[in-house]
Amino acid sequence: MSGNAKIDDSTRARIISAPEAILDDKDVMRALIAANEKSMGGNIIDLRGIAMERLEARLDRLEDTHRSVIAAAYDNLAGTNQVHRAILRMLDPVEFEAFLRNLGGEVSEILQVDRITLVLESVQNDDDPAVQKLGSVLTVARPGFIDSYLIGQRNGQPRQVTLRQVHDASAMVYGPAADWIRSEACLKLDFGKSRLPGMLALGAEDPHHFSPQQGTDLLAFFAGVFERTMRHWLS
């Protein structure tokens, strides 16, 4: 074979001194295998070559899976840090009005949503001056509104966390912002026995910000902390 070599001595010496450079280069290895098959003729089946191709395809799939797992882990970690930061900021205010205003300000910015609304069910009307004053983040609805809003046209019981895309967002929930809200996360809130439920609505202009395929664990945790904080304010 050395007598038929058509490469110069310096290149040959480099290959001999560092053969791993050839073995680690997929394109070079494919070219060598293809040349070897061609030299054997069309009547010979190279089982070793076929096996190598299958192993290479399996390795490619494993690498893709590995990259996907790493990306998902980073996304999950980023989401966890984001929710933790939002909770810590939510717990800062010492007055209820500041608590609600902070919810529609820095908390919504940390969560990267365009609108947050707290919906409270009440048998009284919503013309209370305090409600009107906080109308950008607080709205009062009739009893039963929240379950009806969460269930929509489907049957069954409302979930604690509902993620969905919306085409005609509720003006009752989002006010003037309803015109451009395209996806939402609705967190049903339990304020304890003998109290009507509440709902925290997180609205986004991006239609893909919330979707039913996303996990709900972090938002369920956020809802649990919010419930307990609200019980403190309502007590």
Tens digit of pLDDT for each residue in 63-97?
Answer: 777 777 776 666 777 778 889 999 999 988 888 88
Do 229 and 98 contact (CB within 8 A), yes or no? no
Classify domain 93-234 by CATH architecture.
2-Layer Sandwich (3.30)
CB atoms within 10 A of CB 157: 7
**Which pLDDT belongs to residue 129?**
57
Helix axes 47-90, 217-234, angle to 10 degrees: 10
**Which pLDDT belongs to residue 69?**
73
The ranges assigned to domains in the chain are 93-234
pTM for the model: 0.67
**Which pLDDT belongs to residue 8?**
77
Give me the tens of pLDDT residue by residue for the chain, a chain 235 residues long.
444 556 777 777 777 777 777 777 777 777 777 776 666 665 555 666 667 777 777 777 877 777 777 766 667 777 788 899 999 999 888 888 888 888 888 999 999 999 999 999 988 765 655 556 666 788 888 999 999 999 876 777 888 999 999 998 999 999 889 999 999 999 999 998 888 999 999 999 999 999 998 888 999 999 999 999 988 887 7
**Which pLDDT belongs to residue 134?**
64
Closest alpha carbon to 189 in 136, 229, 151, 155: 229
The H or E element spanning position 117 is strand 115-121
- 146's tokens: 């929240």
